[in-house]
Chains A and B, each alone.
Chain A
Amino acid sequence: MDLSEIFKIILIVLLIGCAVAVNLTPSLLQAVIIFMSYSSVMCLLWILMESPDLAITEAAVGAGVSGLLFLVTLKKIRREDENAEPGETGPAEGKGSRR
């Protein structure tokens, strides 16, 4: 078993760890950051599987833009910290309601 196989196994174990950790962390901010690291580990795995197209896209989209959009959403609903006061987030009832 050569070095690249061992490296792959370590990365896969890290991947599973990240996936489980995203579910188990209490704070949403931590979960988003672990999700971004999950994407980065996936990017490395794509390179090891000889698909550089996928690696570039995964890095740009997964670790980059989609993690960023999650953070912007957290800021918008003001829930970075699970213990913090959530902002007023009622559904807007207006033109669409016929009841």
Chain B
Amino acid sequence: MKNAFQRWLDGDIDLMANISDAAREHDHARADIKERDKKIAREIDSRRETVLMIAREREGLKMVYDVIAVICCVLVILVFMYIIAQLPLYGAENVRATTVAERYIEHGLEETGAINIVSGMILDYRAFDTLGESHVLFTALICVMILLRVDSKNQRKGFEDYYATMRETYFASEKDTILRTIGIFLVPCIFVYGIYVLLNGQNSPGGGFSGGAIMGAAMIIFTSAFGFDRVDRFFTLKLQTYVTFVALSFYSFAKGYVFFTGANGLENHIPKGTPGAILSGGLILPLDVAVGLVVACTMFGFYSLFRRGQIGGSLGRINS
């Protein structure tokens, strides 16, 4: 049983088929023999370079690599265990290491207005880090869009995927009773639960990231059960772009305003509310909503891009 690389090395698959096909068509159109010779010579050149590059990976004794890998892992494990053995125990008294944490625990409620100190900490004390983190997710979505979104180049593959999913949902709606029945009951519950976790970020465990992930998961289950065409009615690329743009810009500017006023010693006039109510915690609720929307759109965007190479879109319209 050979894997793909070995079969390609043996010449069973031809990864350069696209280029050589195009070259041959082109030459028949032009009937220029000297050009064709030169092209083939350079193809062989570049093909040889790719072969060499991948063959280099296969060089070396695989056994030696395995042994060295295991030894490295064991060494790293031993080093970490040595370091951790010298650290204080979980939950033990450690005066040096808890000066910062003490203030969060003692004064967190009154300074941030949130019962859930973790939310207060990530969205108020150390809000700058969370600003960066929410953009990390957005960056990941952009990278996946670059890699997987169907454009004029891989249109053929994109059409195949698109029609494959269309076929699936057509047949699935008739055959997959279990998924549909469970979907009818579970999807609303999961969605509402996600919204609950999101809105209660400042009062109970949860917050923007968890709530958004749950909502995204609900949308994925809905798509698996009922097909893409129903989701396409409301979740288009335009909606996703707008929602992400509005949510992230709101986050950047709201937090920018808080940082600006805080650093310059001005009052930022954001009410803290009464702890325990929904509308409390200052900016924590709006930021949770913004982050949750971004995360939900991102999760579902990943699923959509992985399945058929586009977000939203209708029959035949690939380039959104």
The reply to whether A and B meet directly (CB within 8 Å) is: yes
Question: A interface vs B, CB < 8 Å?
Answer: 49, 51-53, 55-57, 60-61, 64-65, 68-69, 72-73, 76, 82-83, 86, 88-97, 99
Judge whether A53 and B118 touch: CB under 8 Å: yes
Count chain B residues whose beta carbon lies closer than 8 angstroms to a beta carbon of A: 37
B133-174 with Cβ < 8 A to chain A: 152-154, 157, 161
B214 & A60 in contact (Cβ 8 Å cutoff): yes
Q: How far is the CB of B28 from chain A (nearest CB, A)?
A: 20
Q: Which of A60, A83, A89, A94 contacts B217 (CB 8 A)?
A: A60
With A57-B209, A64-B213: A89-B302 Cβ-Cβ less than 8 Å: no
Residues of B near A91 (CB, < 8 A) are 15
The segment from B16-24, B102-110, B227-235, B264-272 that touches chain A is: B16-24
Q: Is the CB of B205 within 8 A of A52?
A: yes
CA distance A37 to B31 in the complex (A): 61
Complex Cα distance, B121 from A51, in Å, reads 14
**Which residues of chain B have a CB within 8 Å of any CB of chain A?**
1, 3-4, 13-19, 42, 46, 90, 116, 118-119, 152-154, 157, 161, 197, 205-207, 209-210, 213-214, 216-217, 220, 299, 302-303, 306-307
| Given A64-B213, A94-B18: A56 touches B206 (CB 8 Å cut-off) | yes
Q: How near does chain A come to B92, taking the closest CB pair, in angstroms?
A: 14
Q: Could you say which residues of chain B place their CB within 8 Å of the CB of A56?
A: 197, 205-206, 210, 214
Q: Are B306 and A57 in contact (CB under 8 A)?
A: no
Q: A91-B15, A92-B157 are in contact. List 18 more A-B contacts (CB 8 A).
A: A49-B90, A53-B207, A56-B205, A56-B206, A57-B213, A65-B216, A65-B220, A65-B299, A69-B306, A72-B306, A73-B306, A90-B14, A92-B153, A92-B154, A93-B16, A93-B19, A94-B18, A97-B19
Chain A residues near B3 (CB-CB < 8 A) = 86
Q: Which of A52, A68, A89 contacts B303 (CB 8 A)?
A: A68
Residues in B with CB closer than 8 Å to A89 are 4
CB pair B46–A60 under 8 Å, yes or no, is: no
Most buried by B among A60, A65, A92, A93: A60
- B152: chain A residues at CB < 8 Å are 95
Contact B206 A69 (CB under 8 A): no
Q: How many angstroms from the CA of A91 to the CA of B147 in the assembled complex?
A: 12
CB neighbours of B4 from chain A (8 A): 86, 89
B307 to chain A, nearest CB (A): 6
Beta-carbon nearest neighbor of A55 in chain B: B205
Indicate if the CB atoms of B13 and A69 lie closer than 8 Å.
Answer: no
Most buried by A among B3, B19, B214: B214
Q: Check if B220 sits within 8 Å of A90, measured CB to CB.
A: no
Asked if A90 contacts B15 (CB within 8 A), the reply is: yes
CB-based contact B18/A69 at 8 Å: no
B44 to chain A: closest CB distance in Å? 12
- Complex contacts, A64 vs chain B, CB 8 Å: 213, 217
Q: Which residues of B contact A99 (CB under 8 A)?
A: 42, 46
